[in-house]
Amino acid sequence: MAASNVVKILSDLVSRPSVNPMGRSVPHESPFFEGRVSDYLESFFRSLDVPFERRTISPGRDNLIAKFEPSDARHTLLWDAHQDTVPTEGMVIDPFRPSVEGGRVYGRGSCDVKGGMAAMLSAFARLVNNRPKGAARVILACTVDEEYTHTGSSALASQGLEVDLAIVAEPTMLEVVTAHKGAVRWKVLTEGVACHSSRPRDGINAIYRMAHVLTAIQNYSECLQESTPDPLLGPPTLSVGRIEGGQSVNVVPDTCSIDLDRRVIPGEDVDGVRQALRDALHQALGDSIPFAFSEPWVRMPSLGPDRASSWVEPVREAIGTVLGQRPSISAVPYGTDAGPLSASGIPSLVLGPGDIAQAHTKDEWIAVDQLEQAVEVYYAIACHLGREGLTNAH
């Protein structure tokens, strides 16, 4: 039965730790990195006897990409779900021992997004086994490193897949998400000259220099709040989240750095927003305060509603056949794999079981009925969007 099947798959996934180290230096062993989930996926696709590839993105981190290829398919869907989870510090349940209680499955990743992945795997297996007439071609991509730098989906996006529509699993309560902001994160650095703190005039204080930079950034971020907002997502934002500098209270500091988080809206370009800040700082500070930018370690494009607009109604109609009514369309504040996919030209939507309020929590869970409905929803979308009458979608 599909219900017990999806819960079983989710339990299998949760019991295989795949914690994203989030940029920290950690050993290549449990619970870090996605290898255990990738091995499970490989045997899952092998047992279905479908073509698949295991593509290494960085050492020990592989995208798994499987294909359901009916010969008469008219459209191709990309289903995307990420293999990694956030870390487990502070959790009050055993993160890797899935438990099913009171209509919920508990465990790290159950909501974000192993639940969505289990539903996609279950629907994919049903497509392969039933081969419903007129179904779309489905490429199921299980990516790595969504929670930190999106290297998996960025590699997938640059692979040149011929796809009509990508559906990205994230907990949306089975609503159709058409837009979200993107993010760029990088450091600004100032340098000085170290000397003994009893003779500060002999040196140059990098923290004092950064103070000027910070004031200019704060002014700039306030202007940004007043800039033309996106109708769904509001204005872009800029925030300073960390500062680091100095070695000791008795040494004039020769370095200082801050971490910036710039949220971009559709229409903004990741490189363009960095240049705009650089120009604003030069204008505010002149040549008196030298500073430098690091390369960004996160460059996640936004998702705008335009590219996938003609697919939204067919998708809602397919979901309506399962749920009895068409789901809402919404925009969300968090970023997803749909950013890089959409930026590469693939129309993309975000759709999955569970509530984002339960993602990344200390007792993460997902409702079993959401999981079961998601299996039906994904399956219905593959059947519905394979049919004709979607010529307006091109």
The residues that touch Zn ion, with contacts defined as CB under 5 A, are: 112-113, 170
Q: Which two tokens stand for residue 211?
A: 């103070």
Task: Name, in order, each residue with C-beta under 8 angstroms of 389's C-beta and a sequence gap of 6 or more.
Answer: none
Q: Please state the closest distance from residue 168 (CB atom) to Zn ion, in A.
A: 9
Q: Please state the closest distance from residue 322 (CB atom) to Zn ion, in A.
A: 22
DSSP letters of 347-392? -EEE--SSBGGGTT-TT-EEEHHHHHHHHHHHHHHHHHHTSSS-GG
Q: Please state the closest distance from residue 143 (CB atom) to Zn ion, in A.
A: 10
Residues 42/54, Cβ–Cβ less than 8 Å:
yes
Neighbours of 394 (CB within 10 A): 7
Q: Please state the closest distance from residue 169 (CB atom) to Zn ion, in A.
A: 8
CA separation, residue 359 to residues 17, 121, 131, 314 (Å): 16, 20, 34, 28
Query: Closer to Zn ion at the Cβ: 70 or 87?
Result: 87
Q: Give the span between the Cα atoms of 53 and 65, in whole angstroms.
A: 5
Q: Please state the closest distance from residue 146 (CB atom) to Zn ion, in A.
A: 6
Query: Closer to Zn ion at the Cβ: 22 or 285?
Result: 22
Q: Give the span between the Cα atoms of 355 and 179, in whole angstroms.
A: 17
Q: Please state the closest distance from residue 82 (CB atom) to Zn ion, in A.
A: 6
Query: Closer to Zn ion at the Cβ: 170 or 376?
Result: 170
Query: Closer to Zn ion at the Cβ: 143 or 373?
Result: 143
Residues 107/99, Cβ–Cβ less than 8 Å:
yes
Query: Closer to Zn ion at the Cβ: 11 or 172?
Result: 172
Q: Give the span between the Cα atoms of 71 and 155, in whole angstroms.
A: 27
Query: Closer to Zn ion at the Cβ: 359 or 375?
Result: 359
